Chains A and B, each alone.
Chain A
Amino acid sequence: MGGVTRRRFLQIGGTLSASALLAACIGGGSTKRSRDSSGGARGRQADATIVRTLSSVETAAVVVYTRVIDAGLLSTPVPSELGELFRSHHQEHAELFRRTTADLGGRPFTDPNAVVMQQLGPRLDTLGDEATALRVVFDVETILADTYQATMGTFADKSFNVAAMSVGGAEARHAAAIAPSIGLSPAPQALASPDRAVPAGNGV
């Protein structure tokens, strides 16, 4: 976890709600509103289901990147460097959402999302070159970006909206970086649509 993020965690650790923790982690936001905006026990339970799903899709991304990196398929300099960086981001995101799940009173989910792995797993077994590997990592980044976007308005605690998109925007950057190398536009449309989102609770 990066220095600023860790410091922000440490500064407020244990004194605020999970949402405030997450909001403070991503920077700039007020933590005042989060103290009383968790939606009660039922709201926290619903939010924990969403956050567990988010940690599961991040873990799936870590699995995908690890498979293509370990297979030596990201061999040219830029994809190799970015692959390592993006995997570290997904590890960071997964850890954050596991901690948040626990803070919400839920059981952290540590496995890769089953829906994502059903979609991408068979392709991981037949990867042959860098182009096919990049296509798989592009797909997982797109699924993640769409999944975060699809959470808008579904959280009981509204401060999670900004937290989710702080990660969703980062995933969109990853996808944009990969897209040209597989012949796709890095910014294909003016308005992003969450077509490939994993619904909350699916695959966990």
Chain B
Amino acid sequence: MAQTSGDKGLQAFAQSVELALVQAYTEVAAAGTITSPGAVDATTTIVQHHQEHAGVLGDAAGSRATSEPNRRLMNRFRADLRGASNEAAALDVLFRFENEAASTYMFVLSSLEATPALELAASILPVESEHAVVLAGLAHQAPAETFPSFETQDQALKPDEFPVS
């Protein structure tokens, strides 16, 4: 099991989360649950972003980089998606994943030390927040759930619970 201490360890953890998100979106697409053109376009763009996030985080993590989606997280994602039998339900679950991703970067930012690592995390966090807004619009989420006045760490995925595989 890879260590997640230090900036590079945290970046590898974040990379494993991004790879799990890529896997989750890929499996949702393969299941054919999301069919409306707007939702298909949005989720296609979002998965490309997560793939890119995983790539830059892997580059930053160097020798600590991983090529595998976070296994425990993937198990949890699959369990959450299992009950999503229609597009609205799937979008709602993906919306929660994006909120968790944004919250995770808040957690990561609280522990990173080097400025380049902080800058990289801060360039990803707002994009996860944007994804959440896109999915919230498609899933008709209430504004109160979509627009917190502050991003928090309350929903953060943490390496203690979801270690890098």
Binding site for B on A (CB under 8 A): 2, 5, 23, 25-30, 81-82, 85-86, 88-89, 92-93, 145, 148-149, 152-153, 158-159, 161-162, 165-177, 180, 186-187, 189-193
Contacts and interface: CB of A to CB of B under 8 A. Distances in A.
A191 B124 contact: yes
3 closest A-B pairs by beta carbon, nearest first, are A28-B153, A153-B115, A172-B126
Interface stretch (B69-77, B82-90, B142-150): B142-150
A170 B129 contact: yes
Contact of B131 (A159, A167, A168, A187): A187
Interface residues of B, number: 46
Contacts of B132: 173
Contacts of B153: 26-29, 162
Interface of B: 45-46, 48-49, 52-53, 56, 102-103, 105-107, 109-110, 112-113, 115-116, 118-119, 121-134, 137, 143, 146-154, 156
Contacts of B49: 187, 189-190
Which secondary structure characterizes the binding site on chain B? helix
Given A153-B115, A169-B106, A177-B133, A190 B52 contact: yes
B109 A172 contact: no
A170 B154 contact: no
Contacts of A189: 49, 127
